[in-house]
C-alpha cells in the first residue's frame, strides 16, 4: 500500500512543510520513497509515500506528471490489468516512459477522461490534478479496498489515505460527528461514507469525485454499482462450478503480478486453501505460504491443517510463531485505525502482518470468502 495526500484551493494550498508532515504521518504505508509536487500557481499540492510493488525503479516515483505537465497523480494500489490497458493506449499512439501502472492511469485519463475508470481492474485510490480543466479527480476501486478520506472546507479541498494525515494540518477543524459516534456505538465501527469527524467523508466504493477549483464545488457519482441479478436461466451445477473455478483462477493470477515477493496467508481453511490451490496453478515457481501458529492454544492452532495443504500443493511453506499480545499494542492500533473500531481481530491481523512482512511484500488471503459465499 501507499499513502496519498492532496490539497487544492482557489488561492494557495498548504505550505510545503505542512504537506510533507501530513504525508509523513503515513510513512508506514510507504517506506520506500516519498515525494511532493506543487503547481506553478501554488494552488494545488500533492504528496505521496511509496511502497514499491510494480516497477521498482525511480521511474515509478510519485507524484507523477505527464510529459506536458498538465496532469499530476498520486496513486495507492495496483491496477491488475495495466498491461492490457497500456497495450490499448499504445495502439492508439500513446507512448510510455516507465513500466509502472501509475503512468497507465495518467495516460488513460488523457485518452478517455473520467471514463477511464471503466477500463481499470484493480484495487486503488487516487487523486489526479488536471491543470487545463482546473479540477481534481478522485476515484476509489469498486470494492472499496483502498481508503480515501476527503473534506470540502470553504475555499479548500483536502484528501488523504488516512484521517491522521488531514489532522496533521494544524488549521484542520476537529469536531466529533455525533451521528457517526452513534453508529459506532451500535455497530462497533463507523460505516459507509461517514466519518467520526464532522465535515469529513470517505469516498464510497465504486465512487468518483471532481473538485472544481474555480467554482469551489464538488461533484460525486457512482461509476460502478453491484450488478442486479439477470434473468433466471437453466445452468447445470457443473457449468457453475467451472465458471467459479475460472473466475477464481483469473482473480488470483492477476493479483500475483508484482516485482516483489508475493505470498499466501494459509490457515488450512477452505478459503485460503482455495487461494493457495489457484496460486500453485498459475505460478511458475513454488508458492510461498505462511501460517501463524499459536503454541499452547490447541484448538486455535491451525498449523497442522495448513501443513497438509502446503504439502499437497508443494508450496514453500513457513510456519511463524505468533508473539504474545499485550495491551501495549492497543495505543498503536488506535493510532493506526484513526476511527474507533471494536473488532478484536485487528490484534492477530496486526501480529500476522508484522511477521509476514519480514518475508514477503504482498500477501494474498481468504478474507471475504464468508461474505461472498454466505458464510
Residue 26: count of CB within 10 angstroms of its CB: 24
Please report whether residue 231 resides in a domain.
no
Set 2, 23, 72, 195: catalytic member: 2
Looking at 154, 188, 222, the residue that finishes a domain is 222
| Whether 273 and 191 share a structural domain | no
pLDDT at 249 over 70: yes
Please report whether residue 232 resides in a domain.
no
Is 2 designated active site? yes
Cell numbers representing residue 69 in the block: 505537465
| Listed residue (248, 247, 244) closest to 272, CA to CA | 248
User: What is the pLDDT at residue 54?
Assistant: 63
User: What is the pLDDT at residue 337?
Assistant: 84
| Whether 70 and 165 share a structural domain | yes
User: What is the pLDDT at residue 228?
Assistant: 87
User: In total, how many domains does the chain have?
Assistant: 2
pLDDT confidence band for 317 (50 / 70 / 90)? very high
- Average pLDDT, integer, range 199-210: 97
The better pLDDT of the pair 321, 153 is held by 153
**How many whole angstroms separate alpha carbon 2 and alpha carbon 38?**
19
| Whether 38 and 87 share a structural domain | yes
Domain that includes residue 303, residue range: 237-372
Residues 20, 48: contact at Cβ < 8 Å? Answer: no
User: What is the pLDDT at residue 120?
Assistant: 96
The better pLDDT of the pair 65, 59 is held by 65
Please tell me whether residue 34 adopts helix, strand or coil conformation. Answer: strand
CATH number at residue 209: 3.60.20.10
| Segment (H or E) for 272 | helix 270-282
**What would the pLDDT profile of 250-306 be if each residue is shown by its tens digit?**
999 988 887 777 889 888 888 999 999 999 998 888 889 988 777 666 666 778 888
- Average pLDDT, integer, range 298-315: 84
Residue 178: count of CB within 10 angstroms of its CB: 10
Please report whether residue 229 resides in a domain.
no
- Average pLDDT, integer, range 92-119: 95
pLDDT at 212 over 90: yes
CATH number at residue 338: 3.40.50.620
Amino acid at each position: 500500500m501507499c499513502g496519498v495526500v492532496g490539497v487544492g484551493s482557489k488561492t494557495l494550498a498548504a505550505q510545503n512543510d505542512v504537506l510533507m508532515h501530513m504525508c509523513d504521518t503515513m510513512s508506514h504505508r510507504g517506506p520506500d520513497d516519498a515525494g511532493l509536487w506543487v503547481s506553478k500557481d501554488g494552488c494545488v499540492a500533492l504528496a505521496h509515500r511509496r511502497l514499491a510493488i510494480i516497477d521498482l525503479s525511480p521511474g515509478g516515483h510519485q507524484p507523477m506528471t505527464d510529459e506536458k505537465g498538465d496532469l499530476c497523480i498520486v496513486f495507492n494500489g495496483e491496477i491488475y490489468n495495466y498491461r492490457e490497458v497500456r497495450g490499448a493506449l499504445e495502439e492508439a499512439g500513446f507512448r510510455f516512459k516507465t513500466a509502472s501502472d501509475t503512468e497507465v492511469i495518467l495516460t488513460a485519463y488523457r485518452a478517455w477522461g473520467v471514463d477511464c475508470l471503466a477500463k481499470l481492474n484493480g484495487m486503488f485510490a487516487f487523486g489526479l490534478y488536471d491543470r487545463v480543466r482546473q479540477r481534481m479527480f478522485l476515484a476509489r476501486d469498486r470494492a472499496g479496498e483502498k481508503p480515501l478520506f476527503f473534506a470540502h472546507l470553504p475555499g479548500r479541498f483536502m484528501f488523504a489515505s488516512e484521517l491522521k494525515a488531514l489532522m496533521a494540518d494544524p488549521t484542520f477543524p476537529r469536531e466529533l460527528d455525533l451521528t457517526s459516534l452513534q453508529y459506532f456505538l451500535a455497530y462497533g465501527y463507523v460505516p459507509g461514507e461517514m466519518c467520526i469527524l464532522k465535515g469529513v467523508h470517505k469516498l464510497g466504493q465504486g465512487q468518483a469525485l471532481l473538485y472544481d477549483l474555480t467554482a469551489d464545488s464538488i461533484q460525486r457519482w457512482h461509476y460502478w454499482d453491484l450488478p442486479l441479478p439477470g434473468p433466471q436461466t437453466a445452468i447445470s451445477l457443473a457449468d457453475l462450478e467451472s465458471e467459479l473455478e475460472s473466475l477464481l483462477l483469473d482473480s488470483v493470477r492477476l493479483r500475483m503480478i508484482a516485482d516483489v515477493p508475493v505470498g499466501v496467508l494459509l490457515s488450512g481453511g477452505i478459503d485460503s486453501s482455495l487461494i493457495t490451490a489457484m496460486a500453485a496453478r498459475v505460478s511458475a515457481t513454488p508458492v510461498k505460504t505462511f501460517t501463524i501458529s499459536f503454541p499452547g492454544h490447541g484448538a486455535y492452532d491451525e498449523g497442522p491443517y495448513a501443513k497438509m495443504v502446503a504439502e499437497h500443493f508443494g508450496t514453500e511453506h513457513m510456519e511463524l510463531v505468533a508473539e504474545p499480545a499485550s495491551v501495549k499494542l492497543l495505543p498503536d492500533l488506535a493510532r493506526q485505525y484513526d476511527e474507533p473500531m471494536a473488532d478484536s481481530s485487528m490484534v492477530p491481523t496486526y501480529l500476522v502482518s508484522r511477521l509476514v512482512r519480514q518475508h514477503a511484500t504482498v500477501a494474498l488471503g481468504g478474507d471475504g470468502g464468508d461474505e461472498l459465499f454466505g458464510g
